[in-house]
Amino acid sequence: MPPYSMNTLFQLENCTSLPDGFLDFLENLLYQSEAQKVFSQPMVWIGIYIAIASLFCILPMLADLLHGFKTKKLYMVSM
């Protein structure tokens, strides 16, 4: 947890006009905020991986489509 968050909590502990459980609520909220920052960092890399994998899938499909149009051999499913 960053120092400014802890300093704010320490200052609020001296305040007597806060409702019961409010400091626990704030501490929990700060903890969740920090956890969210830590766990969201890999999401960027996961997104980049998915984008690159999709590109590697789409390019061969596009090449196959263009080859089919060029040779006039379209794949039609027969039932």
Across 13-22, 23-32, 37-46, 67-76, least confident range: 13-22
pLDDT reported for residue 24: 76
When the pLDDT of each residue in the chain is averaged and rounded to a whole number, the result is: 78
**Tokens matching residue 28:** 């929990």
The residue with greater pLDDT, 15 or 29, is: 29
Query: Rounded CA gap, 61 and 75, in Å?
Result: 13
Show the CA angle centred on residue 54, arms to residues 78 and 64, nearest 5°: 40
Identify the residue with better confidence: 11 or 68: 68
Q: Please answer whether residues 41 and 30 qualify as being in contact, where contact means their C-beta atoms are separated by less than 8 angstroms.
A: no
Q: Which is higher by pLDDT, 73 or 47?
A: 47
Q: Which tens digit of pLDDT belongs to each residue from 27-62? A: 777 777 777 777 777 888 899 999 999 999 999 999
**8 Å CB contact between 6 and 23:** no
Q: What is the dihedral of CA 56, 58, 62, 64, to 10 degrees?
A: 70
